[in-house]
Structure 1
Amino acid sequence: MSKEQVISAYQQAKQVFEKYGVDTEKALETLKSVPISIHCWQGDDVKGFESPDVALTGGIQTTGNYPGAARTPTELRADMEKALSLIPGKKRVNLHAIYLDTDESVERDQIKPEHFARWVEWAKAQDLGLDFNPTFFSHPKSDDGLTLSHPDEEIREFWINHLKASRKVSEYFGRELGSPSFMNIWIPDGMKDQPVDRLGPRQRLADSLDKGLAEKIDTAYHVDAVESKLFGIGAEAYTVGSNEFYLAYASTRGTALCLDAGHFHPTEVISDKISACSLFVKNLQLHVTRPIRWDSDHVVAFDDETQAIMREIVRNELLDRVAIGLDFFDASINRIAAWVIGTRNAQKALLKALLEPTAQLKAAEASFDYTTRLGLMEEAHSLPWSAVWDYYCQQNDVAVGFDWIKDVKDYEATILEVR
């Protein structure tokens, strides 16, 4: 499609949306201002650069053997640059502690801001914000499947110190880059079979979190978030950090709450949780992913739940309180393409939500006109939102439609296949 055709299609779409009381220009301005936090671990299959000898643990599995996984921080940043160049709008990058970039060997309880300075320099050059995660898996001291809830005080103390150190790294990101770093806390702690004591580990976890988060840090630079999970490989029977635990913790301690789309029952969705949690938790963080039967972290699709998530944020005017991030890792396809597909789908879903005739829908509902509500909701799916998306891509100088795949394939042939 030529540039002129894209503009013409947009102008026609703009007129259609005006009939429904929707301002496409306002929707595009809003979309342009909302960052999507893109996770670095899609690029190397969650291995990190801490040690090549540590096996991936914590119930995390990456399947597939597609060639070209990043082996160094430099390669990972180059791969992300290629992906970012094909994604419109505002972006952030989300790092785990195991992605430190340093020439020395550093234990996790000793990580410091300087071990991530090269990431900050890169983020400044790319005009990106950075987010962070302490890494409570793939380490000898997590081999028992327990970290912050471990009965051994010395092991527990090690992980508390890792949490403290991670917060300082996150604060450093915020100070250097001028926007708060969301630091998400997820631990793999749980039991493979039914435990006798369910309370004790949760008491230890609450105490460890209280100690690790005791130092007050300005939320202009750093925001703590906690993330639950239903179960994991090796923790099928019992997860210490359950949804109830972390919802209560976030609401009583003032942290943000992270909702991961793959961390609940197979028929349970996070779109329904957003409004409920927003009443009791100030800030929410989302890990948008695509679970297939379990927390399998497939590449985000433009599916019903992704669209429902974005509609809930927009309908309830929560864009200023919800940090949208992604979390998937697929080693069976080109990893750069995975970033591009998943992020563009999240943005498409957000744009479609911004173009919904929300005012008319709410008016129909308020007057108990459920016939109009249903009819309008369904007709809205057919409105020409895709023409607005193509225009947005063109305005941001990124490929319209499927044209981006050629860039990915060229990069694969010249860079990835050489690795």
Structure 2
Amino acid sequence: MTPDNCGAKVIGKIESLQALRGFAAFFVCLMHFAMDNDWNVDSSHHKNSYFVARLLGSFGASGVDIFFCLSGFIISHSIITRDYTPSIRNSLTFLIKRAFRIFPAYWIALLGGGASSQILGADFNFLKDNMSLRSIFLMTNKITLLPQAWTLAYEMWFYIGIFLIVSISHKKTFLYSLSIWAVCQASILILNRFNILHITYFTLSNPQIMEFFLGVFASWTFLKTGRYAVPSIISGLVIAIWGSVVCYSRLGHNGSLFDGERFFFFGIPGALIIYGLSSLERLGKFSPPVIACRIGDISYSLYLWHTIIMALSIYFIWVFPLYAHVDISIKIILMMVVSLIVALTSFRCIELPFIKIGESLCKSDALNALRSGRLPNTPTNTSRPH
């Protein structure tokens, strides 16, 4: 899950998308706080804590699927609602802005993850082995120092695909090109499923990658009509609740939803709800809570830093025995408050400055020169040589 700026003049008016991002990040954090801290406690002695952990764990995972659908919706909407021509400059502008939004905050959080691993007792070799180039540049979904960053690797795969399509496709053919990509991606997944192909690369073997295209379809439908907004929201909520119940029933047996099941139970509902809420807002029938929108602003930093706060909470359990006896609900509230404060600081001190740097770079002479086909600072001579 990442912030975005493409087509900000258009997308910035759809506050419900930002609010959804805030809710998704909030519930992912709650899920990790509840499930990943040795708090799968004996239900006979801690019934309330056990219930809270399972409930948040069953529903919170849907936040990731909502992130993927949101990315597909926002990126495709921002491109098809503006005039552009296929060029290296346009595609590089897109990729540079995305890179400056994702990598600086991610790299600093990755260092934070490395520092927290040392605090928790890992040796330096562990840090060295897990700070690989593949992890640094999000070319793998196994990022030990910052486990939740696996989703960013999928985001980058989608962004690189958009970069290539924007390079060669006109606005009128953009959706057709995306559709061809989606069909190819789905075909590989199906052939893998029936053991006709044996591709193991993560972005070609996980059905969750198709959730980006669900977002694209939701964006296209949003531009066509908003008449199905309410039925879409209701349908999405019913399927999502169904998926949460299934997930809840499995958590007691150390199980969860499979990737293909997540596509159905969380991905499709995510796209339906995104379409429905954005359509209602456009029709003037829905206004999202302001606090959810503000959490949406800092959602990327919140997503990056919350597991580091969680690791420090584990350390406090070791150092301060009394803290270990604090109820899980109190621990979750404390970690959530600290995570929000850290996320706000990260957003203002890391994300925003680097966003401005990326935007300035995209306006530089070197990038503008790509449009004219000449070197920067080289005067244009229209006279014919003699």
- In the superposition, the TM-score normalised over structure 2's length comes to 0.36
Q: Which has the higher contact order (CA 8 A, sep 6+)?
A: 2
Q: Whose strand proportion is higher, 1 or 2?
A: 1
- In the superposition, the TM-score normalised over structure 1's length comes to 0.34
